[in-house]
Structures are given as C-alpha cells and as structure tokens.
Structure 1
Amino acid sequence: MTAPDPQSQRPLRSLAANSPVRQAHWRALGLTDADLLKPKIAVVNSSSELAVCFAHLDGVAKVVKDAIRAAGGVPFEVRTTAPSDFITGAGRQGSYILAARDLVTNDIEAQVEAAMLDGMVCLTSCDKTPPGHLMAAMRLNIPTLLVIGGYQASGMVDGDPVDIEDLFSGGVGASLGKPGKHAMEDVTRNAIRGPGVCAGMATANTMHCVVEALGMCIAGSAPVRANSEKMFDAARAAGARIVEMVREDLTPRRIMTPGAFYNAAAMVLAVSGSINAIKHLQATATEGGVDADLFAIWDEVGRKVPTLAAVRPNGPVRIEGFEDAGGARAMLKQLEPLLDREVLVASGRTMGEDLADATIVDAEIIRPLDRPVSDGPSIAILKGSLAPESAVVKLGIRDGTRPEAFEGTARVFEDTASAMKAIAAGELQKGDVLVLRGQGLKGGPAMGGGASIVLFAIDAAGLARDVAFITDGQLSGLCLKGLTIAEVAPEAAVGGPIARVRDGDRIEIDVAARRLDLAVAADELARRPAPGNAFPVPADGWLGIYRRDVQPMATGAVLLDLPVGGRD
C-alpha cells in the first residue's frame, strides 16, 4: 500500500504512514483498497449545540464530504472546540473567547498533523474559528480551504429590523436604566432567527471577508446567508477543489504571502471591519513564518484605502444588502487598482486573473475608490508614550461627528465592575478619559470581554462624544462608539506605561498624527510604583497556560515564539 496517487504531483503524506495497523483501522471504518491510495482530507468541523453560530455545520460537513468522495478523495470529519463569544464568553469575564482561538489551532494540529492527512477543509464560523483555521493552515502547510458558514437571519420588532447589535447595546443600556426604543424581551425574541454568525460587519463577517481577500476560500463565498443554496454551492465546490489542490500541492504558504496580507488589510479598511482582524492576521503570518508586520502594513494601507461600504455597525446597510451588492468579491474588484494582483489564490490562478469576471451589483453600497463613503483610514494604529508598541483606534465612517483629537483627564479603573459602577453613578464627566486596564493578553487573561461592556455603557449614558476611552483590552466587532482606543501595548500586566497612569493625569490623543501620549515626564513615570501581580480574573487550567505562554501583541498573541513545523 505504498503506491502514490497517480494524479498527484507529490507523494501523499497519508501513504507514507500507511502501516498495516493503520490500514486495518481504516478498513474497519469501511475504506476499500482503492480508498487507501486516495488523498485523505480532514473536514474540520466545530459543530456544537451550545450556540447557533455552529448549529448547522453538521449539514455543511455532509455536503463537503460527499463532494470530496465524488472528486476522488477520502474525507475524515474531525471536531474542534467551538468558541462562541456570547455563549463561551459567560465564564471568567469572557477570558475563554480569545484563548479558544489557539485551542482550535492546536486541536487541528493534534488530529490532522498527527494522522498525516493530505489536506483539509475547515468549516469556519464564529469569530475565533476563522483565525484558528488560518493559523492551523499556516502551521501544518498542507492544502487547505475554508468554507464560510454564513450569518444568521435577524428579525423585526414593530416594523423595525433588529439584530445582535440592537440586542447587545440594548441589554447594556437596560442594565443602566436606559431602555431603548423596544422592550428587551421583544428584541431578545426576534434579533436572532436562525443559525450562523452575528449579522453585521462585526468580527465574524470581517474575518469571512478576510478569508476571501487572502484567497483561502472559493471565490464569492463571503459573506453569505447561513444554510442558503449559495453557501451549499460553495461547500460543494470546496470539497471538489481541495482534492485538486492536494494533487497540485497548492499549500497555504504559497497563497498567504506578504502580498496576500496586504490585500486582506485593504479589505478590512474598505469595509471598516473589526479591529480584531489585525491581531488575527498577525497571528496567521507568525504561524507561517511570514515576514509581515501587520501593524506597519495597516498604517501603510490605511493611508491609501478609504471606506467603500457602510455596513452596520458603521452605517445603515445591513449585511444582506452587502452580500446582494456583490460582497467581498465585489469589494476586491473595487479595490483592484490597489491590490497585489499577482498573489496566488485557492483556484490556482492569480488574484488578478480570479477577479477578471467579478462584478459589482450595486455601486451605491460597494463604492468605487473615487466615490468612497468616507475618507480613510477607518482603523488606525497609534503609538506614543502611553503606547510605545501599538494601540488601535476604529474611526469607522469619518463624517465629522466623532472626535479624532482629544485631551482630557484620566479616570483609571482596574476592572469592569468598578468602571460600570462609576458610569451608572454619573461620576464620569465631559472631558474625562476613562482608562480601563488589566484587560490585556496576560492581565485579562486573553483580553476578556469587559471593555466592550464599558464602551456600550458610556454610549448608553450619552457620553460617547464627550469622553474618550482607552483600554489594553479588546473590543467586540460590534463596538463603534465615540473615540475609543483599544489593545494598548505593552499592556498593564507586563509593566506598560498604562499601568502607571493615575487619576488626574493628562492624556493626549491625536489620530491625524497617530499619537497616544501621557503628559507625564518619563522620570516621574519611572518613579511610580510598578504594577502588582494581582489579576482581577483568576486563571488556572487552560487559562493559566494561556496567561503564562501568550506572546506579545506584535506576534498576534500566539502561544509560541516560532512556527512549529509543517512542510516547506
């Protein structure tokens, strides 16, 4: 059983490990002698009954597996952890959300690499599965495709459309005695009407568009209505294509080159996507050993790319409208003059060749470069005495209603609860800069979800345009309120300057100059006591491992200093 697949350009990995015991196991599963010589494809499924994000993926897996068999491959379905922000974010103040991203990657390695399979199709859904899949693809470097799981249907209340953004912001507002237009019970019953990820250009749909910009899915896959025929067509096409990719030896490190990361940054900026995409892209590059500094790329691309679509939470366009206007593929077509058109994509063609027949269905929703929704950048990287390494600010649609320069007085909080209490008590004043620290990669750990709640509370209190918010934590992709700066690095827990900010300090924000500064002399700051080792959220088990091993934001928050193998 060592004969190579006659159509393959490279001997199959799975055949090199075809021991008699392995053959016996697979024959007991129903494989024939002919099957043992075929490409073995992992179908990576994060199906879970815990959350609607993943509830439909078993049906998608069946379609992919049938297509792999029809194309001459043998599929093996494997499962990974299934992190859903609003479900698995309940414990430890949301610390499991980002930490689970790396569990997904390691789950895949422990099954697909250990079994020496030849390729994989990853069913990608909620926020942390797309980067987990991309990171694993780079680490293993075997032919890989992602299948976009699609977004959930939303509903109506009294003739008004409602979705997860209304539910999240309304819930925080109600907790502060600031009810929204509709009763929360009505919003809760109608905001989510089926399986799939959050509607809107939050982190999940942003990352789905990123997957397309990187060239790691069937063209035209993102975004997509969950369980639509379009979604299943892409799943069938991916099952057929992955077998060809194995035979062509078209691996992720040939696709996800520096130019591909440049294209992905342009996509996120054009749709004003989630700031979380930056660290996920950096982590993917780090796993593949790609010489790409996403923070520097972001600054470069941000000076060229305007906002070309106003999808919620940035503007009035709903995600369905963006999909119907042509989606990520149409956006790439509008961005084409700025893209690296020579990079390879999953079809085996270049990005330029792949976009030759792309069309823009509605140029009012997905605008051309010479008629943008607003000037860029929609997301900017800041540095300065308060953020020597980096910090991220989301500007969204720059229509003059959101300040881009601010000088104010620090109000410092060590945890979410104390910040929420102060906001509810009316203690936050116009001109204040709310500093929430201890929320970072180690301090959170894994950044948690507390910063997003505080931001929605500031908005509910009617202060979003009168105060600034600075944190070393991360923000939900649904967050776009006021002047907010997140992911300040170095974080407080490792002794970054944010750890030494005191109430009453003056903080200066200048987006145009890309500056975030603390108006405290360096020698005085150095004399202030170093931060202690107490953490608001205890971390044992997996979270303890994460807190101990997570690397700085400059790596994308990976758990390893260097990539750990895969094929060259």
Structure 2
Amino acid sequence: MTTPPRPLRSNLQEGSSRWAVRRAQWRALGIPDEDMTKPKIAIVNSSSKLAICFSHLDGIVPALEEAIRAAGGVPFEVRTAAPSDFITSAGRDGRYILPSRDLITNDIEVAVEGAQLDGMVTLASCDKTAPAHLMAAGRLDIPTIVVGCGYQPSGDYRGEHVDIEEVFLAAGSVAAGRMSLEHLCGMADNAIRGPGVCAGLGTANTMHMACEALGMSLTGTTPVLANSPAMWDGVRRAGARIVELVTEGLRPREVLTEGAFRNAVTLMLATSASVNSIKHLQAVAHEADCPVDVPGLFAELADRVPLLCAVRPNGPHFIEDLERAGGARAVLSQLTGMLDLDVRTVDGGTLGEVLAGATVADAEVVRPADQPFGTRPTIVIVRGSLAPGGAVVKRPVDDRGARRFEGTALCYPSRDAALEGLANGEVRPGTVLVVRGLGVVGGPGMALGSAVVFALEGAGLGDSVALVTDGQMSGLVNVGTVVGEVTPEAALGGPLALVEDGDRIVIDVDRRTVDLEVPDDVLSARRDRLGAPELGPDHGWLSAYRRLVSPVPGGAVLTAPAPGRTPTPEENGP
C-alpha cells in the first residue's frame, strides 16, 4: 500500500476567494497550472549591494530555483534586510546590527507565513542572517534548510597575507600613530578578493558551522569558499533535499532539540568560535520553544571540551585550512564521544549516521580529542558583584595576557567618549575601562565596543588595560582582557551603572568572576542618586526594539513586557 501524499498547507480550498486571487497572481507570474499544487518553497535571500558579503547571493538563486523545480517543487524568492557588521555599523554606533537579526526573522515570518508556503531554503551570509534564519525556522516550524553561502578569499599586501580582520585591527594602529594611513589603505584595498563573509572564525563562519552542528544545514557544507564548486554542490543538494523534507514532513522543532543545542555548544568551544554564538543560539532556542539554557551549557561544558582548532583570529591556521581539513563535519567527528548522536538532521538521518565515514584530512588543523591545542576554555562565562547576571570573556588560544586583572575604573558613557579619552591620553596602564550604556536597552540595540578594543591594542595598551562593557564585541575580537555583555546592563540599573572613576575592579578568568570592590552601603547611596537613564528618542525601529527586547541571557529576543514594568536584576540573569 502506498502512503497518500502529505497535504500541503499552500493548497488553498479550490473555488475560494483566496484561492482565486492567488491563482490570478501566480498565473500572471507565468506559473503553469500543473505547478499550482506542487510544494511551494521559499528561497529566503538576504541580499544587498551594500556589502561584499551578500554580493553573490542573487547569482545563487537561479541555480537553487532550478534544483527545486527538478525535485518537483515551485520556488519563490523572497527578500529580507541584509545587514553587514562592517557597513551597517556606521549608523548609531553600530546599534542597528543586533536588532537587524530580529528584523530579518520578522521579515521571513511576514513573507513565508503570510503566503503559507510549505518550506524554506535560506541563503545565510553575514553575521546576523544565519541566526535570524534559524530563529524564523524555529518560529514557523516548517521544513527548512539553511545554506551557508561561503567566506571571501583573502589577499596579500607587500608580500604578507591580509584579510578584513587585519584591516579592522590596523585601524587602531593608525589612530595611535603607529601606522600610516597610506599603509592602511593598501591593506584595505587588497584584503578582499571576492564575495562572501569575513575570512576568519568570526560570527559569520561560526554561525554557519553552528547551523551544521544543530542539524539545520546539510552535513559537510561549512565552512566553504564562496562561489567554489563545493558551495554550488551544497546549493543544489539543498534544493533537491528541501522538497523531500516537505514530503517527509520533518520540521525544525524535531531537529532543534536540547541535544542539538548541546552539540552546537560543544562545537563552539572546540573551535574557539565567536562569543556572539551564545546569545544567538539562545535566541534560536527561544523561537524553537526548546527549554535549554545556552549560557549555562557554555559554563557547564567549558572545562570538558578540548580545543581542537586554532583558526584565525584565534591561532595560526586559516579558514581555508579548516575547510580543507574537513570543516565542521571533521571537528564533530573528533568529538563523537561528547555528542548526542541520536539527534535528527535535515540530511534525513541521525547525527551519528551522517558523521559515519567522516575523515580528517589534516590532523594538525583539526586535532584529535586527546591531542588538543589546549584544555583551558577560550569562551568563559563570568559572574560576580559587577555582573550578577553574567558576562562573557574571550581568551586567546595561546592564553597570552593576564588571567587575573585588577585595576582602577575609568568610566565613559559611550564608545566615542572612550575613544576620545584614549586619544587624549586619559587611559593609563592598570586601568579598567568601563564603557556603559551600550546594552540592548541602553544602546538601544547593543552597540559595538570593538573599536575601543582595537584602539587599545593599537596604542600598545592591549595587555595593560582591561575593558568592561555592557556592549557586544565583534566575533573577530580576541585581544586583551575584555568582559562584554555585562548583565544586568547599566540602563536597567545593573551594578555597572554605579561604578565611578577610581573604583577597584577585579577580573579573575580562572575563577570565572568579575567583581566591583566597593562597599554595599556606598553602592546603595549611589543608586539613590542615580536617577533614570536617558534612553533617547521614542520613535523608529531602535525605539520599538528597546521597548520589546529581552535581556541578553535570554537571547535578546523580542517579547511583550507588561506596560510600565522594568525587569528586575534577577530576571536579567540566567
């Protein structure tokens, strides 16, 4: 007996008004009558000509459409916002970057849920697109495959390798007078030789690999060089497989389980991935209605997972080396004793089944679990009197720099004020630079503090000055002692708001603590005179985001708080 075909939600009742007007629209688009009842697949294209990260996505769509049609589906391209950290960060001190993730998620919901399409293939590129696509998959719970569309080829300048990370870092040296503007321009002009995301293990490649570890991308497809034969093969495979997924009915919430998130966190720790993966994975779990504490998983697994990769900016190897060694699949195959191998994947089998036969082409790039680069965690969740709800520290693979930093606070209300203070010579060795008002509410939108980190490094203060902020860091930041995403943030009355110049702050990475050494009665008196923070104009997208965003440990997702109610400090922590 044959199984009857699974009913498609896109097939509206024949003769109804919605069916009739949809038919009129689609027939006018040239869709033949015989295609009207086939599986209808959204191609989610976060494309833009503003940034090289996205410049090749429009060219991918035709090949994907062809593969979907050949498999018996009908493709529909839909567009979303396409933020680039290096382009979109120019406005409002980078405050649009994190909120763009949730904007993309809602874009997808409006287009795909509104049209009642049957499945999605999403084209992931720069940092916020992959988590947004995963969030939309979890929310809509229709068959979905995320396609990582690749990293950009790097260049060379004056006989030395140069990529976007090195340009980002070098700008701090120019500001400090340690590099000429001409040299910086030469680096910038040669750093990128083609389309794709940053060519290091920043947030983009991190989240592409996280998609594979979660089972939401086809196994063996990340990381990948943009426009390479391997990328095109992955695109065509995804087009064929998504139609099968719709027929089979495998939904994201069957894939995005607690075991899948545990696997993803294990991969993040084993590769010293971007710290931004913490809040992004938590946001995905929220949308998928999966009751998992991602920051808690990072804290729990930090000392158990060996470091198997040292890819730039964390170590000597390039992202190309990781791809040649076997990519995320190779790393996962070295971690099988620590993974939940029974979780399902969009490939159709379990993780254990799809990892069977995986090989590591270069055991120096992807090391065996018993021969790691190190056992000291590079992604560390810290807590203490300055961050009762938690904060995150990223340590270099080689563990250079102090694991304990004790110094006196120097406070600034914004990134630009801190940069000005540094340029004016106000920042001295032994300082703990406190930059606040950058959180999801205070920003609003969690402004980027990376420019301060690189300015400190460029000024030769990277190892002698620490930074503590409620803002976020670029996934490429991996220098000095930096405590980011302090929770509760200053704008919600967290202890960070109470710090004054000269206060003693102690950061102890080994003990996982960050403490403000000021008596409680003094802090209480400061709180009494603090007053409400200035939160900026009450209009526009960032204002709406500020009113709806949840605390960072919850993924910084959009929720609906009770009118007039401010979260308590306890609610801002896990």
Same-fold status (TM-score > 0.5): yes
Partner of 1:411: 410
- Residue by residue over 1:363-411, the C-alpha shift from the partner in whole angstroms, topping out at 9 and shown as x without a partner, is 10011111111113110111111111110001131x3422111111111
**Mapped pair 1:362 → 2:358:** no
2:476 to 469, 475, 478: 478
Shifted more, 67-76 versus 416-425: the winner is 416-425
Cα separation, 2, equivalents of 1:8 and 1:424: 71
Cα separation, 2, equivalents of 1:8 and 1:298: 44
Distance 1:337 1:295, change over 3 A: same
Distance 1:366 1:181, change over 3 A: farther
**Mapped pair 1:306 → 2:306:** yes
Distance 1:188 1:400, change over 3 A: closer
Instruction: For 1:21-170, list aligned pairs within 5 A.
Output: 21-170=21-170
Partner of 1:391: 391
> Runs (4+) of structure 1 moved beyond 6 Å?
none
Equivalent pair of 2:172/2:457 in contact (CA under 8 Å): no
Identity of aligned residues (%): 54
Partner of 1:3: none
Partner of 2:209: 209
Aligned to 1:485, what secondary structure does the other structure show?
Answer: strand
Partner of 1:490: 488
Offset of 1:516 from its aligned partner? Answer: 1.1
Cα separation, 2, equivalents of 1:336 and 1:47: 36
Aligned to 2:10, what secondary structure does the other structure show?
Answer: helix
Cα separation, 2, equivalents of 1:349 and 1:378: 32
- Residue by residue over 1:466-510, the C-alpha shift from the partner in whole angstroms, topping out at 9 and shown as x without a partner, is 121110000001101111110000000111110001111111111
1:502 to 497, 500, 522: 500
Equivalent pair of 1:7/1:247 in contact (CA under 8 Å): no
Cα separation, 1, equivalents of 2:425 and 2:374: 34
Cα separation, 2, equivalents of 1:9 and 1:306: 46
Q: Residue 401 of structure 1 aligns to which amino acid in structure 2? A: R
Partner of 1:565: none
Aligned to 1:183, what secondary structure does the other structure show?
Answer: helix
Instruction: For 1:161-310, list aligned pairs within 5 A.
Output: 161-179=161-179, 183-310=183-310
Offset of 1:9 from its aligned partner? Answer: 5.5
Partner of 2:571: none
Partner of 2:425: 426
Cα separation, 2, equivalents of 1:180 and 1:478: 23
Cα separation, 2, equivalents of 1:31 and 1:7: 28
Query: Unpaired runs of 5+ in structure 2?
Result: 562-574
Distance 1:8 1:73, change over 3 A: farther
Cα separation, 2, equivalents of 1:415 and 1:8: 61
**Mapped pair 1:14 → 2:17:** no
Cα separation, 2, equivalents of 1:530 and 1:332: 49
Partner of 1:380: 380
Distance 1:141 1:194, change over 3 A: same
Equivalent pair of 1:148/1:221 in contact (CA under 8 Å): yes
Cα separation, 2, equivalents of 1:201 and 1:380: 17
Cα separation, 2, equivalents of 1:526 and 1:16: 62
Cα separation, 1, equivalents of 2:370 and 2:143: 38
Could you state the TM-score of these two structures normalised by the residue count of structure 2? 0.94
Offset of 1:192 from its aligned partner? Answer: 1.0
Structure 1 vs Structure 2 CA RMSD: 1.6
Partner of 2:565: none
Q: Residue 445 of structure 1 aligns to which amino acid in structure 2? A: P
- Residue by residue over 1:39-69, the C-alpha shift from the partner in whole angstroms, topping out at 9 and shown as x without a partner, is 0000000121111111100111111111000
Offset of 1:32 from its aligned partner? Answer: 2.2
Aligned to 1:13, what secondary structure does the other structure show?
Answer: coil
Offset of 1:104 from its aligned partner? Answer: 0.4
Q: Residue 86 of structure 1 aligns to which amino acid in structure 2? A: F
Equivalent pair of 1:306/1:378 in contact (CA under 8 Å): no
Cα separation, 2, equivalents of 1:448 and 1:181: 26
Equivalent pair of 1:493/1:531 in contact (CA under 8 Å): no
Equivalent pair of 1:412/1:436 in contact (CA under 8 Å): yes
Equivalent pair of 1:438/1:492 in contact (CA under 8 Å): yes
Aligned to 1:123, what secondary structure does the other structure show?
Answer: strand
Aligned to 1:329, what secondary structure does the other structure show?
Answer: helix
Offset of 1:232 from its aligned partner? Answer: 0.5
Q: How many residues align?
A: 554
Cα separation, 1, equivalents of 2:7 and 2:139: 20
Distance 1:556 1:400, change over 3 A: closer
Offset of 1:190 from its aligned partner? Answer: 0.2
- Residue by residue over 1:284-335, the C-alpha shift from the partner in whole angstroms, topping out at 9 and shown as x without a partner, is 0011111001011111111211211111101111111111111111011111
Equivalent pair of 2:46/2:79 in contact (CA under 8 Å): yes
1:456 to 454, 457, 461: 454
Partner of 1:435: 434
Q: Residue 7 of structure 2 aligns to which amino acid in structure 1? A: P
Cα separation, 2, equivalents of 1:538 and 1:204: 31
Offset of 1:7 from its aligned partner? Answer: 7.1
- Residue by residue over 1:63-93, the C-alpha shift from the partner in whole angstroms, topping out at 9 and shown as x without a partner, is 1111000000000000000001111111111
**Mapped pair 1:334 → 2:330:** no
Offset of 1:123 from its aligned partner? Answer: 0.3
Equivalent pair of 2:174/2:181 in contact (CA under 8 Å): no
Partner of 1:543: 542
Cα separation, 1, equivalents of 2:324 and 2:347: 23
Could you state the TM-score of these two structures normalised by the residue count of structure 1? 0.95
**Mapped pair 1:519 → 2:517:** yes
Q: Residue 543 of structure 1 aligns to which amino acid in structure 2? A: L
Distance 1:222 1:539, change over 3 A: farther
Partner of 2:322: 322
Offset of 1:27 from its aligned partner? Answer: 1.6
Cα separation, 1, equivalents of 2:299 and 2:5: 40
Cα separation, 1, equivalents of 2:530 and 2:263: 41
Q: Residue 465 of structure 2 aligns to which amino acid in structure 1? A: V
Query: Unpaired runs of 5+ in structure 1?
Result: 1-5, 563-568
Equivalent pair of 1:8/1:248 in contact (CA under 8 Å): no
Cα separation, 2, equivalents of 1:176 and 1:540: 37
Partner of 1:466: 464
Aligned to 1:508, what secondary structure does the other structure show?
Answer: strand
Cα separation, 1, equivalents of 2:531 and 2:357: 57
